[in-house]
Structure 1
Amino acid sequence: MIQRIQTVFLFLVVVCMGVTIGTGLWEQAVEGQVWQLNAFVLENLDADGEVISATSKWYLAALAAFAGLLALISIFQYKDRGRQMMLNMVNSLLMVGLVATTFLTTNGLNSELGIEVSGTYKIGFWAILVAMVCNMVANRFIRKDEALVRSVDRIR
C-alpha cells in the first residue's frame, strides 16, 4: 500500500533530486576566479561576481529530474512489488551515473586548469548520495514486504 515506510524513503529520493536541481553541486576558487557548477550550468565568475563564461550542463539536470520522476512513479507501483524493485534498481543506476558525471565534469575542469585541489562539493552533490541511500533502504523494505506476503501465502 501507499502508506508503507518505503513510500517515505522514495519521497525523500524525490526531495533530494529536487535539492540537487535547485542548489549548487560544486565550487572551485582559483586565482581570484570562482568556478561554480549547478545542475544546469558551469560558470566562471571573476572577483566581483560577474560571469566570465558559462557552459551548459543540462544533462545533469535531466538525469536528476529523471531519477526524481522514476522514484515518484515507483511510489505508485505498490501493487507490483517486483516492478517497484526493478524501477528502484534502474533509479540507483541513474543516480550512480549522475554522481559519476558530476565527478568527471569537476575533475575534467581541474585537470584542464592544472589544479591539484579538487574544490568543494556542495549540498546538491551530497543530496544525490543521500538519495542513493534512501533508494537502497526503500528497496530493502519492499523486499521485506514481498517476503511477508510470500510467508502468509505459504500458511494458507
Structure 2
Amino acid sequence: MIQRIQSIFLLLVAVAMGAIVSSQIWVSATESKQAVLTAMQLTVTENGTVVETVNTLAIAVVAGLAGVVALASMFSFKNRMNQMKLNLVNSLLIFTVIGLNLYYGYMQGTDLMGGVQGQYKIGFFLPVFAILFNSLANRFIQKDEKKVKDSISGRLRD
C-alpha cells in the first residue's frame, strides 16, 4: 500500500535521485580557474571564459533510472519479493552514481584543475541518503513479508 512507511522511503529515494540532476556535485576553484561538476557536465572556466567542458550525462541517466526503479518498487507493493529485488537493483544503480561522482569529480576534475582538490557539494551526498532510504525501505518490506508468512503459518496450525 502507498501509505506504508517503505513507500515514503522509496519516494525519498526517487526525490534524492531527481535532485541530483539540478544540484552541484563538486566544485574546485583557484584565483583564476574554476571547475563545476553537475549531473550534466563538468565545466572548467578561466577568468570567466569556458575553457573545457566534459559531458557527464551518465550521472543524470543512472540517477534518473534509479529514481524510476524506486517508483516502480513503490508501486509493486503487492509482490514484496519483487520489491526487494528492485531495491537490490536500485542499490547497485545508486552505488554506480556515487562511483561516477567520484570519477568525474576526483579523477577528471582534479586533473583538469592541475591537481587542485575541490569540495563535494550536496549533489554528492544525495546518493548516500538515497542508499540509506533504500535500505530502510527494504528492512520494512522484509518485516511485512515476515508478518505475512507468520500469519499464514499461524492459520495452518489452527
TM-score by length of 1: 0.93
Q: Write the distance in 2 (CA, Å) between the matches of 1:33 and 1:114.
A: 10
Corresponding residue of 1:148? 147
Asked if the contact 2:33–2:113 (Cα under 8 Å) also holds between the matched residues in 1, the reply is no
Number of matched residues?
Answer: 154
Q: Write the distance in 1 (CA, Å) between the matches of 2:114 and 2:53.
A: 19
C-alpha deviation, 1:53, in angstroms: 1.9
1:129-148 Cα deviation digits (max 9, x unpaired): 10110000000000000001
Corresponding residue of 1:75? 74
Q: Write the distance in 1 (CA, Å) between the matches of 2:116 and 2:28.
A: 11
1:67-90 Cα deviation digits (max 9, x unpaired): 000001110000000000000000
- Please give the root-mean-square deviation of Cα atoms over the aligned residues, in Å: 1.4
Q: Write the distance in 1 (CA, Å) between the matches of 2:67 and 2:51.
A: 32
Corresponding residue of 2:14? 14
Percent same amino acid among aligned pairs? 38
Matches within 5 A, 1:104-143: 104-109=103-108, 110-111=110-111, 113-115=113-115, 117=117, 119-143=118-142
Partner AA of 2:32 in structure 1: G
1:31-53 Cα deviation digits (max 9, x unpaired): 421110000000012233x3222
C-alpha deviation, 1:19, in angstroms: 1.0
Task: Note closer, same or farther for the CA distance 1:116–1:52 as it changes in structure 2 (3 Å cut).
Answer: closer
Q: Write the distance in 2 (CA, Å) between the matches of 1:17 and 1:137.
A: 16
Q: Write the distance in 2 (CA, Å) between the matches of 1:129 and 1:60.
A: 14
Q: Write the distance in 2 (CA, Å) between the matches of 1:41 and 1:57.
A: 5
C-alpha deviation, 1:112, in angstroms: 5.5
Partner AA of 1:25 in structure 2: I
Unaligned runs of 5+ residues in structure 1 are none
TM-score by length of 2: 0.92
1:83-139 Cα deviation digits (max 9, x unpaired): 00000000000111110111022222224544263x111111111110110000000
Unaligned runs of 5+ residues in structure 2 are none
